Amino acid sequence: MVLRIGLALLVALVAGEVFLQAASFVASRTGARGSASPEAPGAVTILCVGDSHTYGLPLPPEESYPAQLEARLSERHPGRVFQVVNLGIPGMNSGYLANRLERQILQLRPRLVLVWVGINNQWNVAESEDARGALRGLLSHSRLYRLASIAWYTGTGYQYDPEQHGGWFEGEHPPSARRSPDEAQTRALAPGLARDLARIVETTRLFDTPVILLTYPMRKQRPLNRVIEVAGFEAGVPVLDAVLDFERAVADGHAIRSLIDLSAGPHPTAHLYGYIVESLLPVIDETLGLEDRAPAGADKH
């Protein structure tokens, strides 16, 4: 009796998986990704996910990099409408992000995803995979598993709420950092971050949506940035080196205190975000095939 029930359950699971895989194949061939986002029909929607560097802590919303990016893209391409959605959460780690990205893409149908995450892995272990990483990597190919993940993690927050700045949802947020990370922590947690970044890229590819990874502008984060750069290289996706933007700003004569805000831990100022956005613009143009160029002087600070 138990054997029959187990066999029936196995058959049902296999049939469900086959159905979902077939439905996914059909959807990918009928242009499901082209449907408009809920906020601005006809807009080029770009989804920005990550931690406080995406959120823009401690700046006002209009000075965050997603807000600056939307303004600069609109100036650069006056014939187009852009919607850059900020789903950054201070304290976010890569596992927490990866577990919810598919649901967010399903909701917003973005043309591009920008990912800035990893620094909080050095202290925030919420939903980290550890030894389960390899198993989850195998299960991630199952549509049934991903459907179950969406149902589970939808109930634990971090969804798009147009009434709120960033990804805050029902008051939820990860705990604050209690200690500073070091290089040894970065090396120890690098495999988990690399797995999560690979999952993130795989998720975007399920929807034929390009992705760009960003590194951190602080020089002391080079070990962490190396993990992000290698993950991007292995996945074949662009990686923006924000350290170069910091160094370019310094070379232009800007004082470090005008580029890094220490009031809530080291974060870019609005001015440094401007440099990072300037570097993103041509990468986004190439990635999305935006041919019309910016008006004269639009890229000057």
Q: Can you give the pLDDT at residue 21?
A: 45
Whether 220 is covered by a domain: the verdict is yes
Res 239: pLDDT: 98
Please check the confidence at residue 301 and state whether its pLDDT lies above 70.
no
**249 falls within a domain:** yes
- Per-residue confidence (pLDDT) for residue 192, from 0 to 100: 87
Q: How far is CA 73 from CA 20, 69, 294, in A?
A: 37, 6, 8
Distance CA 284, CA 33 (A): 18
pLDDT of res. 54:
97
**Per-residue confidence (pLDDT) for residue 127, from 0 to 100:** 72
pLDDT at 2: 64
State what percent of residues in the chain have pLDDT above 70.
Answer: 62
Give every CB contact of residue 151 below 8 A, 6+ residues apart in sequence: none
Q: Per the domain annotation, does 90 fall within a domain?
A: yes
Domain for residue 2, yes or no? no
Gap between the Cα atoms of 103 and 99, Å rounded: 9
Write the pLDDT tens digit of every residue in 106-147: 999 999 999 999 999 888 777 765 444 445 545 544 555 544
pLDDT(100) > 80: yes
Show the domain range for 131.
40-172+181-288
What percent of the chain has pLDDT above 90?
54
Q: Predicted confidence band at 184 (pLDDT cuts at 50, 70, 90)?
A: low
Looking at the structure of the chain, the number of domains it has is 1
Q: What is the CATH number of the domain that holds 61?
A: 3.40.50.1110
Q: How far is CA 256 from the centre of its chain?
A: 27
Task: Read off the pLDDT of each residue in 223-252 and give the average, rounded to a whole number.
Answer: 96
pLDDT at 228: 96
User: 16 versus 68: which is more confidently predicted?
Assistant: 68
Residue, of 131 and 86, whose pLDDT is higher: 86
Query: Is the whole-model pTM more than 0.75?
Result: no
Q: What is the pLDDT of residue 25?
A: 40
Report whether pLDDT(149) > 70. Answer: no
- Asked whether residue 145 is domain-assigned, the answer is yes
Q: Is residue 253 part of a domain?
A: yes
For the segment 157-176, the average pLDDT, to the nearest whole number, is: 42
Over residues 259-268, the mean pLDDT reads 92
Burial label, 276 (beta-carbon count in 10 A; 0-12, 13-18, 19+): buried
- Domain presence at residue 218: yes
pLDDT exceeds cutoff 90 at 235? yes
Q: Residues 283-295: pLDDT tens digits? A: 999 999 986 555 5
Is residue 3 in a domain?
no
More confident residue, 34 or 86: 86
Q: Is the pLDDT of residue 46 over 90?
A: yes
pLDDT at 237: 97
168 has pLDDT over 80: no
pLDDT score of 167: 44
Q: What is the mean pLDDT of residues 221-228?
A: 92
Angle at 132 between CA 130 and CA 135, to 5 degrees: 145
Q: What is the mean pLDDT of residues 51-60?
A: 95
Pairwise CA distance, residues 236 & 246, whole Å:
25
